[in-house]
């Protein structure tokens, strides 16, 4: 086997193995979020399967090219079909709870891909003729790791950004099919097997999933029925309802949007004020609202164009900045009268770096001295879970006492709107007790 061809095969293995990991991490976000407790086990399981693949490949002692060719074809099928968005969605729809579906996806799709491709380097180093074993394995690992490096960068920064996740899935499957053909050579069997896998990958990624995909999220506009709506439409972000709009005059929006609009426009009488919105959604907060100036910040550069074309069917009102919410509030020099924090990577899943005390502290610097923080949180309606209690306590550790309004009290999960005033740090609270009751004194100080 020509040395150059062998290194091409090893390069494809590295490119597609890490590519499969990057794709899997992206496909899991709509269902499990992107927290460290999801990404770290995913990477760990992938590396374990890769190590087991190295061990299995070291035991192969004949038919080297046939084994690698078979592994490439099976891995192409698993990536092209198993990691396609429609397949991942079906797994999470069919299996509950989502933690079990996650394990099925990892154990049934991602780990077998890593195990199959991990065998490539130890098998093919048997075909390299060198004076030293270390030289042969070192060169093979160099091209494999180079492929992994280029695969992670090109798929995440180029292919997913410009063509979408489905294109990244199809590219990895196609490269593995090319490797299979290079290993097997021409023949009817090779052509039939390759064509079958390519066809399945194209069908799974191009025809069966209606979502609009970007590197950050999957978007879909679907009909929705809700109180007072006429031909209601829902803008879904990562399988979660992000915004609602209908053809009524004036339109009916999601309940929390109506609540926030009423607070700003009616209760506070905002006019000609600057309002910051972290998390664009469907841009409905400023829809047909010319009285104030809105600035939206969202990590996905494509979300505005998608919302305008498929959801609003009109230009979104306000400015748009593609940036991470935390990075924006840390770096910007702008100041706003109010800020709505409405950031979700998936249903009820706020990115972990946007719930910490440090993030809420950073939000104060972009507010005017008496500015208003409004946070839309999806929590249990009883506010009894550790997550609810700790998140609310974290916010109030920075802003002091805030107004907390549960909008859907009969539901298990509800929109909880937290409203806080910017200002100086609040003094620690003290309890009124019979032995030392300072209620009258505190009441006098509060007038």
> How high is the pLDDT of residue 209?
64
Asked if residue 211 has pLDDT above 80, the reply is no
Domain boundaries, the chain: 3-209, 218-421
| Pairwise CA distance, residues 342 & 327, whole Å | 15
| pLDDT band at residue 214 under the 50/70/90 scheme | confident
Burial label, 358 (beta-carbon count in 10 A; 0-12, 13-18, 19+): exposed
Greatest alpha-carbon pair distance for the chain in Å reads 93
Asked if residue 55 has pLDDT above 70, the reply is yes
Q: For residues 124-130, give the mean pLDDT.
A: 79
| Pairwise CA distance, residues 311 & 241, whole Å | 12
The region, left, alpha or beta by phi > 0 then psi within -120 to 50, assigned to residue 206 is: alpha
User: Residues with Cβ < 8 Å from 181, sequence gap 6 or more?
Assistant: 190, 194
Looking at the domain that runs over 3-209, which CATH code has it been given?
1.20.1250
User: Of 223-227, 256-260, 326-330, which gets the smallest average pLDDT?
Assistant: 223-227
Q: pTM of the predicted model, to two decimals?
A: 0.81
User: Of 54-68, 199-213, 319-333, which gets the smallest average pLDDT?
Assistant: 199-213
Q: For residues 146-160, give the mean pLDDT.
A: 93
Edge-first strand listing for the sheet containing 413-421: 319-322, 293-298, 274-278, 336-341, 367-380, 413-421, 403-406
Asked if residue 351 has pLDDT above 90, the reply is no
Cα of 141 vs its chain's centroid, Å? 31
Q: Specify the CATH class of 218-421 in words.
A: alpha beta
> How high is the pLDDT of residue 347?
61
Q: What percent of the chain has pLDDT over 70?
A: 96
Tokens of 232: 């209601």
- Give the Å distances, CA to CA, from 349 to 30, 377, 383: 9, 9, 16
| Residue 307 or residue 35, greater confidence | 307
Asked if residue 380 has pLDDT above 80, the reply is yes
Tokens of 84: 């396609």
| pLDDT band at residue 346 under the 50/70/90 scheme | low
Q: For residues 415-443, give the mean pLDDT.
A: 85
> How high is the pLDDT of residue 239?
79
- Give the Å distances, CA to CA, from 104 to 75, 78, 111: 17, 13, 10
Tokens of 253: 């929006």
Q: For residues 131-148, give the mean pLDDT.
A: 84
Asked if residue 217 has pLDDT above 80, the reply is yes
* Residue of 268, 301, 304 whose CA lies nearest to 286: 304
Asked if residue 131 has pLDDT above 60, the reply is no
pLDDT tens, position by position, 267-287? 999 999 999 999 998 999 999
Give the range with max mean pLDDT: 231-245, 315-329, 432-446.
315-329
> How high is the pLDDT of residue 130?
62
Instruction: Look at strands 233-237 and 240-245 and give their pairing.
Output: antiparallel
Mean pLDDT of the chain: 91
- Identify any residues that bridge with 235 across adjacent strands, giving them in sequence order: 221, 243
User: Of 196-200, 341-345, 373-377, 408-412, which gets the smallest average pLDDT?
Assistant: 341-345
| pLDDT band at residue 443 under the 50/70/90 scheme | confident
Q: What percent of the chain has pLDDT over 90?
A: 71
pLDDT tens, position by position, 292-324? 999 999 999 999 999 999 999 999 999 999 999
């Amino acid at each position: 086997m020509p040395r150059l061809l062998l290194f091409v095969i090893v390069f494809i293995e590295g490119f597609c193995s890490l590519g499969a990991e990057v794709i899997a991490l992206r496909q899991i976000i709509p269902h499990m979020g992107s927290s460290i407790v999801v990404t770290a086990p995913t990477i760990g399981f992938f590396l374990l399967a890769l190590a087991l693949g190295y061990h299995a490949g070291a035991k192969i002692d004949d038919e080297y090219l046939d084994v690698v060719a078979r592994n490439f074809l099976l891995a192409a099928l698993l990536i092209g079909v198993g990691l396609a968005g429609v397949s991942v969605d079906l797994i999470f729809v069919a299996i509950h709870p989502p933690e079990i579906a996650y394990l099925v996806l990892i154990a049934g799709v991602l780990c077998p891909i890593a195990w199959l491709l991990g065998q490539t380097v130890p098998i093919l180093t048997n075909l390299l003729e060198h004076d030293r074993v270390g030289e042969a394995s070192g060169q093979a690992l160099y091209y494999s790791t180079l492929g992994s490096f280029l695969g992670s960068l090109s798929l995440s920064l180029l292919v997913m950004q410009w063509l979408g996740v489905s294109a990244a899935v199809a590219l990895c499957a196609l490269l593995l099919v090319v490797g299979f053909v290079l290993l097997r050579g021409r023949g009817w069997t090779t052509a039939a097997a390759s064509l079958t896998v390519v066809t399945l990958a194209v069908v799974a990624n191009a025809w069966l999933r209606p979502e609009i995909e970007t590197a950050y999220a999957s978007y879909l506009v679907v009909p929705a029925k809700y109180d007072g709506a006429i031909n209601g439409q829902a803008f879904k972000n990562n399988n979660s309802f992000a915004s609602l709009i209908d053809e009524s005059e004036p339109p009916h929006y999601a309940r929390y949007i109506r609540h926030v609009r009423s607070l700003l426009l009616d209760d506070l009488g905002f006019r000609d004020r600057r309002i910051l919105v972290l998390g664009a959604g469907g841009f409905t907060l400023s829809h047909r609202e010319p009285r104030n100036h809105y600035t939206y910040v969202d990590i996905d550069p494509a979300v505005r164009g998608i919302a305008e074309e498929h959801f609003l069917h009109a230009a979104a009102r306000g400015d748009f900045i593609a940036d991470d919410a935390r990075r924006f509030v840390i770096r910007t020099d702008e100041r706003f009268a109010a800020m709505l924090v409405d950031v979700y990577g998936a249903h009820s899943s706020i990115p972990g770096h946007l719930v910490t005390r440090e993030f809420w502290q950073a939000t104060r610097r972009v507010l005017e001295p008496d500015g208003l923080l409004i946070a839309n949180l999806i929590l249990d309606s009883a506010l009894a879970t550790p997550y609810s209690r700790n998140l609310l306590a974290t916010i109030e550790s920075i802003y002091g006492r805030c107004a907390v309004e549960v909008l859907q009290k009969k539901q298990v999960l509800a929109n909880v709107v937290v409203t806080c005033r910017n200002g100086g740090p609040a003094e620690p609270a003290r309890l009124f007790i019979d032995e030392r009751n300072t209620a009258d004194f505190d009441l006098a100080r509060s007038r």
